[in-house]
Every structure is written in structure tokens, then in C-alpha cells.
Amino acid sequence: MKLVTAIVKPFKLDEVRDVLKGMGVEGMTITEVQGFGRQRGQTEVYRGAEYTVNFVPKVRLEVLLSADAVDGIVEAIVEAARTGKIGDGKIWVTDVEGVTRIRTGEKGSDAL
């Protein structure tokens, strides 16, 4: 089993969700996060004082998948979240040792 973690632009979240749902993904977790990458922060001005905001808001989404589904899902996220402009985000995949569904106690791929 794999955990796919993607950092995407907040306004792209709905598109990503729709695509993944259409591909049979059963659930995901999202978190509002802030950070920086190659995209620089933005500048704000308050009564003439300029502030650089170093961390820009993003959404982190996490999806648990069986290993064979990973490549297709990553491609789908890339497709849905891309604007072509700097700051589109990143996706990484990690191994997951085990998964348990709390309600039933099911384990492994049954719990996905």
C-alpha cells in the first residue's frame, strides 16, 4: 500500500477531487498548509509599509492506495492540478506498512 501526498493550489482542489472520485478513490484527507518552493511569496502594503509574505497558502491532500493504482492516480492529479505557472505544487509517494479501519477492524487492502 502507498500513501500519495500532493501539495496543490487551493483553487485546484475541487478539480482534483472530482477526477480522483471518478477513478474510484474511496477517500482522501486534506489539510490547509502554508509553505514555499520556487514560487516566491507575495507583497502586501499597509500604510506604506511593505511586507513580504514568505509562506503561501496551499492544500495538502493525502490518499491511501493499493500499489498498482498509484501511477494512474499521480498522473491524474498532475493533469487536474496543473496550471503551468510556478507554484503548482508537488506530489510524492511513500510506502505504508499497514492500514486499519477503526469501525470494523479490517486490515490491509480491505480497509482502503
Partner 1 sequence: MPEIDSGDTAWVLMSIALVLFMVPGLAFFYAGMVRSKNVLGMLMQNFFSLGLVSVLWVLLGFSLAFGEDLGGGFVGALDFVGLAGLGEIPGLEGALTIPPIAFVAFQMMFAVITPALITGAIADRMKFAAWVVFLAVWSVLVYAPVAHWVFSPGGWLFQRGALDFAGGTVVHINAGVAALALIVVLGRRRGWPGEAMPPHSLPLTLLGTGILWFGWFGFNAGSALGANGLAAQALINTHIAAAAGMCGWLLVERIKDGKATTLGGASGAVAGLVAITPCAGFVNTMSALAIGAVAGAVCFLAIQLKYRLRYDDSLDVVAVHLVGGIIGSVLLGVFADAGVNDAAPDGLLFGGNAELLVNQFIAVGATLAFSGILSLVLAKVIDLAIGLRVDEDDEAQGLDTTQHAETAYSFGDVRSLGRVA
The pattern of x and - marking residues 27 through 46 that bind partner 1 according to CB under 8 A reads -----------------xxx
Residues 103 and 111: beta-carbon distance below 8 Å: no
Choose which of 22, 38, 52, 103 interacts with partner 1 (CB under 8 A). Answer: 52
Terminal alpha carbon distance of the chain: 9
Instruction: Name the DSSP letter for residue 83.
Output: -
Q: Are 11 and 80 in contact (CB under 8 A)?
A: no
Q: Which of 22, 24, 38, 47 binds partner 1 (CB under 8 A)?
A: 47
Q: Contact, 60 vs 95, CB < 8 A?
A: no
Residue from 49, 86, 95, 103 binding partner 1 (CB under 8 A): 49
CB of 48 to partner 1, least distance (A): 5
51 binds partner 1, rule: CB under 8 A: yes
Q: For binding to partner 1 (CB under 8 A), which residues are involved?
A: 44-53
